[in-house]
Amino acid sequence: MKFNLKIVAATAAVAMMSSGAAHAAATVTVTGAPVTYSLEGLQLSGTSAVTLPPIVITLGNNLTYQDDVYITLPGVVPVAPVVTPTLVTCTISGSAMGYVQTVNSGWNFRVTSVTGIVFGDVCTFTGLAVQGASLASNGGVVNYVANRFITGTTVDSASSSVALLVKSQFGISGNGVSTATGYTPLNGEIDVYANRLQFSAAEIVGSGAGASDPFRADTLAFVTTVDGNATVFYAGSPVVTTDAQVVTIDNGSFDWTDTASPAGTCFDSGLVNFTGWSVATTSTCNSLVLNGPTTNTANDGYFEVPGTKILSPADWAGKVKWTYSLGSVSGTKELTWDPGVWTINGAQVYIQYMPYGTGISRIVYAANSGVINADGTLDVIANGSTTTCDLGAVASKTVTQLSAIVDACVAGAGIVNGRVALLMTFTAPDVDIEVYSAYNVGGSDRGTVVNTSNGRGLTYFSKVD
């Protein structure tokens, strides 16, 4: 009886093998995985063939003569391989597969060994290639499927983990994309108690800490990469050559850099230690454009204000643009980044419009709901220039009439007719100050002028809603 049971068990095992049931988990790997390709290199390759590293399949089941084998990478456009004796090699003598055709996202091979290929055999596919641009969007996964001849039943399969990586060569710290370190943003606080000519605290980090007057320095440190942060790209990956690297910083005023004759030309000074970078001729007093080297950079520089120019708050905005090439084909990449913010330790109210002329009068009041007695400064902005005047004291818990002082400052700027913009600065917390602004025509027609403090009480829950 025991003898008969053993025969039955052996017979069942043979039946299991012939039915195609799996004996072990198949695997698919890539030699040297994970291997990395340049995103920009693939994109510029277009339809040109880019070689894949050897793909290695360990069979999890027996394959029979003429069974179909498929190697696929989702999303790629395959290139028909050159059929050579080394295109597919297996470790067990007599095992063989032959190339049939390309299929959607891959290749079809077929078992050519009459005796088949047994589970555990390891077969390596060498020299497969895809169109470069198609690999740029591939998820890095390689799939293997074996189907039984005629029936099409799947008898073996496996997928790799992420075996192929696609990585950009370009990045800048501070933009949430690059992993590069070394980012120190601008963070100066303009000091209203020093007439807005310097910062309220001395710089204590980076190269700005070594400035002759740290109260006039604000460090900006950033890192750029043109090689994916020293990534070793796969030997078969096309890698682009960097031709230009340009950083732009704007969304603020650089008037404080205009310190030499002729007036009106910015960036006479103000930039320290940005080694290898130069101010481009396309720069303006509202936009700094820096031409840099075509290599990785680690920049520890600072903005140095002169101490004689009134500073303005700014939420600085930045971008970096690279121009690169692969042979005769060129491309560009642009990323945004955050250079930082300049704040102010007082309150500022901007009145965008105030008319002057015969029969027109102004109504301007400042409400100080705080406990600090504030001083005020007025900037009259018109006709391409700015005139600054003292507004005097704005006492705490008081509404102060400023109409006469405003008119006197405008008259001192030589303005009799036209429209001006007014910027008021107070040595008080922003939450404490609100300004009412209006004008009157002919004593009967009052027009309220919206300014940047109107409705601000809804945010600050101030006492003057």
CATH (domain of 99)? 2.60.40
- Bridge-partner residues for 186, per DSSP? 340
Tell me the H-state helices in 86-149.
132-135
Token pair of 129, please? 């290639």
Q: Are 451 and 352 in contact (CB under 8 A)?
A: yes
pLDDT at 442: 84
* Nearest-angstrom CA–CA distance, 319 and 335: 6
Domain boundary among 127, 151, 167: 167
Shared domain check, 304 and 430: no
* Nearest-angstrom CA–CA distance, 315 and 334: 20
Domain boundary among 297, 329, 344: 344
Token pair of 15, please? 């039946």
Shared domain check, 422 and 408: yes
**CATH number of the domain encompassing residue 387:** 2.60.290.11
* Residue with token string 């031709």: 243
Shared domain check, 281 and 244: yes
pLDDT at 5: 34
Could you tell me if residue 186 is inside a domain? Answer: yes
Q: Which residues of 14-51 are buried (b: 16+ CB within 10 A; e: fewer)?
A: eeeeeebeeeeebebbbeebebbbbbbbbbbbeebbbb
Shared domain check, 410 and 287: no
Residues spanned by the domain of 275: 171-344
Q: Are 136 and 41 in contact (CB under 8 A)?
A: no
In order of 13, 20, 95, 258, the CA distances from 59 in angstroms are: 18, 12, 12, 72
* Nearest-angstrom CA–CA distance, 279 and 277: 7
* Nearest-angstrom CA–CA distance, 83 and 79: 12
Per-residue pLDDT of the chain in tens (465 residues, 90 and over written 9): 343 433 333 333 333 333 344 456 999 999 999 999 999 999 999 999 999 999 999 999 999 999 999 999 999 999 999 999 999 999 999 999 999 999 999 999 999 999 999 999 999 999 999 999 999 988 889 999 999 999 999 999 999 989 999 999 999 987 655 445 689 999 999 999 999 999 999 999 999 999 999 999 999 999 999 999 999 999 999 999 999 999 999 999 999 999 998 888 999 999 999 999 999 999 999 999 999 999 999 999 999 999 999 999 999 999 999 999 999 999 999 999 999 999 999 999 999 999 999 999 999 999 999 999 999 999 999 998 999 999 999 999 999 999 999 999 999 999 999 999 999 999 999 889 999 999 999 877 788 898 998 755 544 444 443
* Nearest-angstrom CA–CA distance, 187 and 458: 27
pLDDT at 447: 85
Amino acid at 229: N
Domain boundary among 329, 344, 359: 344
Could you tell me if residue 3 is inside a domain? Answer: no
pLDDT at 21: 44
Could you tell me if residue 194 is inside a domain? Answer: yes
Could you tell me if residue 7 is inside a domain? Answer: no
Shared domain check, 333 and 206: yes
Q: Are 350 and 416 in contact (CB under 8 A)?
A: no
Shared domain check, 295 and 179: yes
Count: domains in the chain: 3
* Residue with token string 């930082």: 340
Could you tell me if residue 277 is inside a domain? Answer: yes
Residue among 234, 232, 235, 236 nearest 79 (CA)? 236
Shared domain check, 184 and 156: no
Could you tell me if residue 362 is inside a domain? Answer: yes
Shared domain check, 319 and 362: no
Shared domain check, 317 and 178: yes
Could you tell me if residue 14 is inside a domain? Answer: no
Shared domain check, 441 and 353: yes
Shared domain check, 368 and 317: no
pLDDT at 298: 92
Shared domain check, 354 and 251: no
Could you tell me if residue 11 is inside a domain? Answer: no
